[in-house]
Amino acid sequence: MARHSLLLLAAAILAAAVVAASGCSPSDREALLGFRQALNEPYLGLFNSWTGSKCCVNWYGVSCDAATGRVTDVNLRGESEDPIFEKAGRSGYMTGKLSPAICGIDTLTTLVVADWKDISGEIPACITSLSSLRILDLIGNKFSGEIPSDIGRLNRLTVLNLADNTIAGKIPPSITQLTSLKHLDLSNNLLTGEIPENFGNLAMLSRALLNRNQLTGSIPVSISKIYRLADLDLSMNRLTGSVPFELGKMPVLSVLNLDSNSFKGLIPESLLSNGGMGILNLSRNGFEGSIPDVFGSHSYFMALDLSYNNLKGRVPTSLASAKYIGHLDLSHNHLCGSIPVGEPFDHLEASSFGFNDCLCGNPLKTC
């Protein structure tokens, strides 16, 4: 039995060696050359290696399946620790477009064309035909147009990163069909419209970054059903309405950035009493009422920012019992009364409490 297993292993190794020696699939090679022809990388010579038939062996950023010789990964990052970048002493720069030719590689699982600064044009609609795709990362370019409407066809996708481009239009409803998605970053684009109501269908999601867009409407309550969601950033949009209290009941959520929107109403107590919440930024909105007095020894905030709202009343006395508060900003509200005394406040400066109606006590003037 052992001898038979060794023979099988040797045969597999030999087959892989034969595939590697014979080069990649001719159709894959043709698709890669079409993809390369639409791009211009003038400084580092990364595409100088893209010659000959052995694209599985020597071509920069290309990886293949050892058994089949088919291309599986195209990984081109303009911000890299690769020796080529270190030797040149510069980051990457590339112009051109993302050619639909890349869609000819139907075995592609990873497509990364990231941080090249000047690649423009639209995302080819045929991208959604790559049914094996697990990672699509186009961050840091100048892609325009809209997210393909049938993006939901990529049901194996775990990472979708389109941040730092000029992509416009609405978030397509089909995006909620990406039930394997773990990381979603659409930040710093020109997206408009509302967050899809059934966003909560993305059950595997751990990070959702939609900040720095022009999104409108309210926060869908369905988001609170995403059990694994740890990081939610909706800041710097045009969102309105109240914040669902259900967000504070999420068991894993530790980072919540909702700053620079137009939210109103009361701050949900659940957001401040959640012992797992480490970074909470609700600044630059229209929140009213008092700050809920629900802190305790379970409270551990690396950053808590409630500045630039319409909050009234006193600074909660329970804040003094918090286990840790790294950064606190309650400035530019209408708070009044004495600042509580306690260890969490010992390192805070006057800027944390400035521009309120009548706060007093350390680090402000004596009451």
Assess if residue 4 is contained within a domain. no
Total number of domains constituting the chain: 1
Q: What is the CATH number of the domain that holds 303?
A: 3.80.10.10
Classify residue 158: in a domain, yes or no: yes
Query: What mean pLDDT is predicted for residues 238-267?
Result: 97
Q: Long-range contacts for 279-284 (Cβ within 8 Å, ≥24 apart)?
A: 279/254, 279/255, 279/303, 280/256, 280/304, 280/305, 281/235, 281/256, 281/257, 281/305, 282/243, 282/258, 282/306, 282/309, 283/259, 283/307, 283/308, 283/309, 283/329, 284/259, 284/260, 284/308, 284/309
Which amino acid is located at 365 in the chain? K
pLDDT at residue 100 greater than cutoff 90: yes
Is residue 241 included in any domain, yes or no? yes
CA dist., res. 359 & res. 54, Å (int): 71
Predicted confidence band at 23 (pLDDT cuts at 50, 70, 90)? confident
Range of the domain at 113: 19-360
What is the band of 344 on the pLDDT scale with cuts at 50, 70, 90? Answer: confident
Total H helices, total E strands in the chain: 4, 24
For residue 365, is it within any domain? Answer: no
304, pLDDT greater than 70: yes
Q: Is residue 14 part of a domain?
A: no
| 117-146: burial string, b at 16+ Cβ within 10 Å, e else | eebeeebbeebbbbeebbbbbbbbbebbbb
User: Is residue 197 in some structural domain?
Assistant: yes
Q: What is the pLDDT of residues 178-209, one digit of tens each?
A: 999 999 999 999 999 999 999 999 999 999 99
Q: Measure CA 32 to chain center.
A: 28
Rg, C-alpha atoms of the chain = 26
